[in-house]
Structure 1
């Protein structure tokens, strides 16, 4: 656990943006592979995966955080194992009535004490930066329609609209997650603001019907960020192919697709081989780099974010 304690000893006590501080899961810190420490200002969140921490270890971590952050320290601990999680507030308090964090000029609601997912996936920060830069650089601002599949709380939609997208269609099976997404748009002044694009929110199982999604297209950007394994919803090994087949007909000429996959069990070749087979007209452009804090001993295990482009007219 010493690498985690060493990191805590050098952390910035009052960070302004949400980000990962310590990524033991990347395998670069032997003995800490089960640990991750995140900043959701003004709260620190420590997570352990599969292997719980003892009360003695938690007390040692508390002392390290307290020595660095002083009397204003607020932190929580979450133990995650086999799809279940238990979260405890260890010191301080959470902001009331709502916890709002910032990232790259956008604001998001988070909920650290409820469930495994907190409202904002920090490992996707560079993916959101890529979307912001792509939209800002699009030559024809009169039309830039974005399809955000598996939208969750719609962070991609927020940055796309901030950068000038004309319309974003957010699709997710969870009406509750989309409800938080609507609040995220309100937080950022993206609802009915003059000169702003529009967002729609569709609580929908895409595999039951593509009709509504297809009629709203074609799209200049499609974002595909599914769970790697969610029983009854999405299993990457069999369901990603069903998405890939749809991309050519949903993309506008010259449009781009951002494909995301976050599991150490499937490598880069899984996405690339299937795209070559199922959507051969789309050209591979680049792999978006992950945030530096999420460095991994094997980049094939880490989050994979790939960009593809449809052929242009003519």
Structure 2
């Protein structure tokens, strides 16, 4: 775990929520199972393979040394360890452990000027996907540009598989007239509503706890949309299986998009490369033009970019 320790030694004070070490990208042989994230004022270490108490002690010592050097005003070190993968099944309640300090409740982090609620002590998803930072930046820029070109008429956005509605928050901040958030999880949408309140957004966004594949009529009648965001789980039994359900979804995009509207399609399945999205789009919605793939944050670099997060933009005819 030399590269992980080197990343800790070079760590700067994390003002925003960011990834510090990304072993999952495969660039550090033997350390593919390690991930270190900052959800200030808490650090979250994740392992996708079994680890020993001695390894955790070594990492804890490194974190303590570096934290003493960079933390302002004697802020104590707060860090959490989460065991993932097969080893987590045997760990039970100990799969996520507070190793030092405490976790704020509520726990609110920032990304630029935007605030999000997170929960690092329960579940595998903490409320904000750090690898999607460039996607949120792109949405902000596109919405702001649209609003500037048409003063008084911000764009209408459809946010599918909205989770905690981070895309919606940045779209509303940038000048969207309306965002329709759709997700099957009422709990996730409730967290999304709280994220809007955290940022002083009181109107303009709606939250629909619907099965997307049973709601096309309602969603189409609410359109058309200047921007459709699709960020599904790659595999969630009973909800979405990318290889089967993404083509079904693409077939609906021409009816949802306004002329010249854009679709942001996201896919985090290592076994499916960008060609999966492009080939399916050519088959299901050939009128949509590929604009390009967004870069991932540099810390998420992968030895094989086809296996990393795919975020691709397509545009409807003007």
Q: Is residue 254 of structure 2 the alignment partner of residue 254 of structure 1?
A: no
Out of 167, 183, 193, the position equivalent to 2:194 is: 183
| Deviation string, structure 1 residues 6-29 (Cα, Å, up to 9, x no partner) | 1101101x3110010000010111
Question: Are the aligned partners of 2:143 and 2:154 in contact in 1 as well (CA < 8 Å)?
Answer: no
Cα offset, 1:104, TM superposition: 2.2
Q: Is residue 91 of structure 2 the alignment partner of residue 92 of structure 1?
A: no
Cα offset, 1:143, TM superposition: 4.0
Query: What residue is the counterpart of 1:272 in the other structure?
Result: 278
| Deviation string, structure 1 residues 99-158 (Cα, Å, up to 9, x no partner) | 000002110000001100000000000000000000011122414100000000000000
Cα offset, 1:30, TM superposition: 1.1
Question: Are the aligned partners of 2:115 and 2:199 in contact in 1 as well (CA < 8 Å)?
Answer: yes
Q: Is residue 172 of structure 2 the alignment partner of residue 161 of structure 1?
A: yes
Query: What residue is the counterpart of 2:82 in the other structure?
Result: 78
Question: Are the aligned partners of 2:162 and 2:181 in contact in 1 as well (CA < 8 Å)?
Answer: yes
**Secondary structure of the residue that 1:207 maps to in structure 2?**
helix
When the two structures are superposed, what TM-score results if normalisation uses the length of structure 2?
Answer: 0.94
Query: What residue is the counterpart of 1:200 in the other structure?
Result: 206
Query: What residue is the counterpart of 1:55 in the other structure?
Result: 53
- Structure 1 window deviating more from structure 2 (202-211 vs 294-303): it is 202-211
When the two structures are superposed, what TM-score results if normalisation uses the length of structure 1?
Answer: 0.95
**Secondary structure of the residue that 2:108 maps to in structure 1?**
strand
Superposed counterparts of 1:61-72, under 5 Å? 61-70=59-68, 72=76
Q: Distance in 2 between matches of 1:124 and 1:8?
A: 22
- Structure 1 runs (4+) deviating above 3 angstroms are 82-85
Question: Are the aligned partners of 2:19 and 2:36 in contact in 1 as well (CA < 8 Å)?
Answer: yes
Cα offset, 1:311, TM superposition: 0.3
Cα offset, 1:214, TM superposition: 1.1
Consecutive unaligned residues of structure 2, counting only runs of 5 or more, are 69-73
Q: Distance in 2 between matches of 1:104 and 1:308?
A: 26
Consecutive unaligned residues of structure 1, counting only runs of 5 or more, are 193-197
Query: What residue is the counterpart of 2:71 in the other structure?
Result: none
| Deviation string, structure 1 residues 275-299 (Cα, Å, up to 9, x no partner) | 0110000000010000001000000
Q: Is residue 150 of structure 2 the alignment partner of residue 140 of structure 1?
A: yes
**Secondary structure of the residue that 2:212 maps to in structure 1?**
coil
Q: Is residue 110 of structure 2 the alignment partner of residue 102 of structure 1?
A: yes
